[in-house]
Amino acid sequence: MIAPISASRAPMVTALPRPRRSGDIATCLVVDDEPRLRQALARVLEKDGYVTHQAASGAEALAVMQEQSIALVLSDLRMPGMDGTQLLRELRARYPDVAVVMISAVDDVDTAVHCLANGAMDYLSKPCHLEEVRQRIRQALERRRLVLTERDYHAELESRVAEQARRLESLFFNSIQSLADSLEAKDRYTRGHSTRVSYYSGVIAREMGRPADDIWQIELGGHVHDLGKIGVREAVLNKPGRLTDDEYEHIMTHMMVGWRILAPLLSESPMALNIVRWHHERYDGRGGPDRLAGEHIPLEARIAAVADSFDAMTSRRPYRPGLWMPLEKALEELRVHRTKQFDPDAVDAFLSVIERGGVDWERMGGTMDDGLGDGWPHRKPE
């Protein structure tokens, strides 16, 4: 037996803010198979200023939901056909922003807990008191408003954080670019060389099945691997002909100089930093600066070593004419020094990409006039 809604039996309630009327009138849907109670509830809500729709079943409720923008559903639990719990499930799945208040003649804690656990915002048991219904509806709508406000706030916060991260990333790359520009001003060879080392390293890493983030870091490491040459005297950097032992030692400080400059900037890209420090290590342990050997050298540095040496061999440097070699000869050098200077797997990966025509020589190319690398090598090595 459903007791009539009666204002006289209303308990004392704390006043809540009235629903906002202008521009933000909440639209409610009352679902109950019992027309008398449904109409009574609808009248209560209308009196409080809500736009109210009615449905006599779960299916009818879903049809109304498709047509109307509903903020709150007040639904009976026991209904023929689709019952209240099924309707609640459908509403949570299809309309997660809607506040759902269940109402039932069953004064059963388990049922109430079940409804709340499945996403109902509140649970009322019949007989209902007018003031109680009004208060719980206002509470549910207020909670919904807070949830939506918080969600919007978080979405905005996330978008601001993402924007900030993009700005920081762009500032970071600008700093790296400025450093690279300083080096270019000193060493005309480096720009084209770094671009190519970056590309070849990416090619090898891809062939070796490295994941996308590794490849990104490896390509970045290729771009900046020689940055420490900023600290090398210009006369030594651009010296034609053979270097003295002292000059060679001086030039070989560039790995540690670069590593020290970039360590604070590349803390999020440790693989790129490893390339800067260890791209002159040799697989047989006779390289530097730390004389690491074999797999003690991080894979990314072993990859960059192959790319770096290959480009050094195939690039024409104006100040060292005659030191470059044709493609076949350079590939032969890689084969000969496999396991001595180079990681055999990295060499094999590079050779197999080249053999199947997977290196975009044109991308590494250009003309003498395009400013990229100042004129070398610009075409597929002969």
Q: Which is nearer to Fe ion, 226 or 343 (CB)?
A: 226
User: Of 172-180, 220-228, 310-318, 352-360, which segment contacts Fe ion by CB under 5 A?
Assistant: 220-228
**Phi and psi dihedrals of 150, rounded to 5?**
-65, -40
> Smallest gap, in angstroms, from Cβ of residue 251 to Fe ion?
8
User: Which amino acid type is present at position 112?
Assistant: A
> Nearest to residue 76, comparing CAs of 49, 47, 45, 55?
55
The residue behind tokens 């061999």 is: 313
Q: Which is nearer to Fe ion, 226 or 281 (CB)?
A: 226
Judged by CB under 5 A, the chain residues 105 through 124 that form the site for Fe ion are none
Of 274, 180, 174, 290, the residue nearest 226 (C-alpha):
180
Q: Minimal distance in Å, beta carbon 248 to Fe ion?
A: 12
Closest by CA position to 337, among listed 346, 12, 323, 230: 346
In the bound complex, what is the minimum distance in angstroms from residue 92's beta carbon to Fe ion?
A: 59
Residues touching Fe ion: how many (CB under 5 A)? 1
Q: Choose between 226 and 311: whose C-beta lies nearer to Fe ion.
A: 226
Q: How far is the CB of 93 from Fe ion (least distance, A)?
A: 58
Q: Does residue 207 touch Fe ion according to CB under 5 A? A: no
> Which range, of 84-92, 182-190, 221-229, 267-275, touches Fe ion by CB under 5 A?
221-229
Interacting stretch for Fe ion, rule CB under 5 A, among 39-47, 77-85, 218-226, 296-304? 218-226
226, 300, 343, 348: which one contacts Fe ion (CB under 5 A)?
226
Cα(30)–Cα(338) distance, integer angstroms:
78
3-state secondary structure of 6: strand
Report the distance separating Cα 125 and Cα 7, nearest Å: 16
CA distance 148 to 141: 10
Q: How many CB atoms are closer than 10 A to CB 143?
A: 13
In a 10 Å sphere around its CB, with 0-12 CB exposed, 13-18 middle and 19+ buried, how is residue 333 labelled? middle
Please identify the residue of the shown chain whose CB is closest to the bound Fe ion. 226
Instruction: Look at residue 29 and give its three-state secondary structure.
Output: strand
Residue 28 forms beta bridges with which residues? 52, 72
Cα distance between residue 115 and residue 123, in whole Å:
7
What minimum distance in Å lies between the beta carbon of 327 and Fe ion?
Answer: 21
d(CA 25, CA 286): 78
Query: Rounded to an integer, what distance in angstroms lies between the CA atom of residue 282 and that of residue 63?
Result: 72
Q: How far is the CB of 225 from Fe ion (least distance, A)?
A: 6
Choose between 79 and 255: whose C-beta lies nearer to Fe ion: 255
Q: Which is nearer to Fe ion, 122 or 281 (CB)?
A: 281
Q: Which stretch binds Fe ion (CB under 5 A): 5-13, 226-234, 314-322, 327-335?
A: 226-234
CB of 258 to Fe ion, least distance (A): 8
Q: How far is the CB of 226 from Fe ion (least distance, A)?
A: 4
Given the complex with Fe ion, which of 289 and 375 has the nearer CB atom? 289
- Piece of the chain touching Fe ion by CB under 5 A; list 68-76, 79-87, 205-213, 225-233: 225-233
Q: At how many degrees (to 10) do helices 299-314 and 344-355 cross?
A: 50
Min dist CB 379 to Fe ion, Å, is 23
Helix H segments across 187-263? Answer: 188-207, 212-224, 234-237, 245-251, 254-262
Whose structure tokens read 């072993």?
302
Residues found near Fe ion in the complex (CB under 5 A): 226
